[in-house]
A and B are shown apart, each in its own frame.
Chain A
Amino acid sequence: MNRLNQLFAAKKTPLLSIYFTAGYPELNSTVDIAEALQKAGADFLEIGFPYSDPLADGPVIQQSSQKALENGMTVELLFSQLKDLRKRVSIPVLLMGYFNPVLQFGVENFCNACAEVGIDGIIVPDLPIYEYEGMYQNCFADHNLSNIFLITPQTSDERIRRIDNLSSSFIYLLSSSSTTGKNLALNEEAEKYFARIQEMNLKNPTMIGFGISNRESFDKAAQYTRGAIVGSAFVKFLDQPDSMNRLPEFISSIRKQ
């Protein structure tokens, strides 16, 4: 059991997870933002490590990644920033990013470093199941790291079952096949899909992400799953004046207190 499993087991009300890009807006803002988000009531966090070619991301996260890289963010620097993460933050924290920086850091080194600073899981959208199972699954497991997989309305039931078997904390549902930052598709088709997933009675809980930007989309997500993940909307919010002091305001604009 890592922190994620404990959270999903203990808390029964809708969960809210927030994504932000490490090194954005300021190079050294990573842990400050994490701590402030915990205080403001976020249930868990996804810290993005930036990549030059984030092909699953829309403009907002692309720009935050580019800015973070310009600020000098690297995987190595991120781990050094996270050294005393666990002195300041107790909620589950995931790292999210693309495979190439992980590969260059060394997958084994990466898992080690995650375990050392107290990371609970990893989301690598472009690491395929085949490679994960064949080469990296043991390494993740040895370090008590959950690998989080995405599924879309086009993912077959058979593949969803396979993903369910490979998952150990939760599954990340996309309301439609899309890059980050689009608005949640709140149409009949999306609801049918959420209902289909609900009926599959998966072993792992699910969370909806990509396109959650306000209370309406959050509530819709929470109706079918354990909660939702907000990314682009938060990254955009960080750009506003005095945003760091207004995080509670942001959190309550998404989820009723």
Chain B
Amino acid sequence: MNKYQVNENGYYGDFGGAYIPEMLYPNVEYLRQQYLNIMYEPEFQREFQQLLKDYVGRPSPLFLAERLSKKYGTTIYLKREDLNHTGAHKINNTVGQILLAERLGKKRIIAETGAGQHGVATATVCALKGLECIVYMGEKDIVRQAPNVARMKMMGATVIPATSGSKTLKDATNEAMRDWINNPIDTHYIIGSAVGPHPYPDMVARFQSVISEETKIQLKEKTGSEYPDYVLACVGGGSNAMGMFYHFLDDENVKLIAVEAAGKGVHSGESAATTLLGKEGVLHGSRSILMQTADGQVTEPYSISAGLDYPGIGPQHAHLFKVKRAEYVSITDDEAMQAGLLCARLEGIIPAIESAHAFAHLEKMKFTGNETVVICLSGRGDKDLDTYTKYFDL
């Protein structure tokens, strides 16, 4: 597995590392020393597996989408992360990190959120464990994603608006990091995607890797083979995609496709297609690929889906992109919205707009009829009903 995994210095090829100010070093370093020991303690694993089963509702089904399969002329399975408690894959990571935070002796949890899915998943596990929860959310996103703000508050979390910069996910992440700098003793920061300083990208990928672990077993049962031909997932920071790819990385016959948000078009100036528009750079503690100006100022991304509206990708994705282990493609707002509607009409499943980006790429693929395709259905579309309804004038 080593070729695509993090090395002992915290790097994936040229990407990763821990580009953090000294104030964050003691916490991040302690986490680095401890995370693997803690995660693989039998007692941790027992509690983690138990919660995934009884609280999250895992294993999530692998569903044969017959009408979609018929339309595209191949065999398509959906990995149903939308059926998890709180409605997305995000909870796999927050359950893991809350158990870790407890064992690190932390009493106060902070998180950033864009669409609010990670904020909700964090508020949920904090309620479960009786820990204080503070969620930073861009002022603009608080308005766009009001139902998720209400859910967080109902579960006892404090939602603090990020009013700096562009007032979206990137700024919420800055604010969470500033909070951690100012609260170095009692606080754990639950990052919501496979981003941030080492060991976060690796830790989040490991917690999300349950997605591909289950998929392999389920595929074997259904098709006799553990290996699909294609695996597709959308990429914001990259956590559902990393979880979906994880156990297939070494099987080079499995084609991995990561779908980014092109927004209003890759060259429209309103896009979040990081691998196409970005350059190598450093943001939020890691060296990766980043949308930025020639002067190294981070540029504002845009996507109709708040969860993909991020100017970077995790360092492991940057590596998979650079060494061409995975293919990075992009899908516009319009393509994603149409794919979301199609999935609703053909399968009776309303996907999150983030996930709909992965579905939209099916239109661009050529199939012979014998392929097995797995799509990570990372979340349900309830949070997006307002956007869907307005878009289609339903």
Contact = CB atoms under 8 A, between A and B. Distances in A.
Given A177-B184, A179-B182, A182-B182, A99 B23 contact: no
B176 to A, nearest CB: 9
A36 to B, nearest CB: 27
A195 interface: no
A59 B164 contact: yes
The main secondary structure of chain A at its interface with chain B is loop
A1 interface: no
B23 A152 contact: yes
A66 B171 CA distance: 13
B22 A100 contact: no
A121 to B, nearest CB: 16
B296 A53 contact: no
B17 interface: yes
A155 interface: yes
A116 interface: no
Interface residues of A, number: 42
Interface string B7-41: 00100000001111111011000000000000000
B26 A154 contact: yes
A52 interface: yes
A75 B296 CA distance: 9
A125 interface: yes
Contacts of B290: 100
* Residue of A62, A76, A154, A177 with highest tally of chain B CB at under 10 A: A177
The main secondary structure of chain B at its interface with chain A is mixed
Interface string A148-166: 0111101110010000000
B393 interface: no
B22 A130 contact: no
B105 interface: no
A104 interface: yes
A150 B23 contact: yes
Given A101-B296, A128-B20, A130-B17, A53 B184 contact: no
B252 interface: no
A177 B183 CA distance: 7
A55 B26 contact: no
Contacts of B294: 104
Nearest to B27: A154
A126 B282 contact: yes
B23 A174 contact: yes
A55 B290 CA distance: 16
A151 to B, nearest CB: 6
A150 B21 contact: yes
A127 B19 contact: yes
Contacts of A69: 297
A53 B23 contact: no
A98 B296 CA distance: 10
A130 B292 CA distance: 25
A183 interface: no
B341 interface: no
Contact of B9 (A75, A98, A130, A178): A130
Given A100-B282, A177-B184, A179-B178, A74 B295 contact: yes
B26 to A, nearest CB: 4
B181 A56 contact: yes
Contacts of B20: 126, 128
B313 to A, nearest CB: 15
Contact of A56 (B21, B26, B170, B283): B21
Contacts of B17: 128, 130-131
Interface in A89-105: 98-105
A47 to B, nearest CB: 16
Nearest to B197: A128
Contact of B297 (A52, A102, A159): A52
A178 B182 contact: yes
The 5 closest A-B pairs by CB, nearest first: A104-B296, A101-B296, A125-B21, A177-B184, A154-B26
25 contacts: A52-B165, A52-B298, A53-B165, A55-B174, A55-B177, A55-B181, A55-B284, A56-B23, A69-B297, A99-B282, A100-B281, A100-B296, A103-B280, A103-B282, A105-B296, A128-B18, A128-B19, A154-B184, A155-B22, A177-B182, A178-B23, A178-B182, A179-B23, A179-B178, A182-B182
Given A54-B174, A66-B164, A179-B182, 9 more contacts: A52-B165, A75-B296, A101-B295, A101-B296, A149-B22, A151-B22, A154-B25, A154-B26, A155-B26
Interface of B: 9, 17-23, 25-26, 164-165, 170-171, 174, 177-178, 181-182, 184-185, 279-285, 290, 292, 294-298
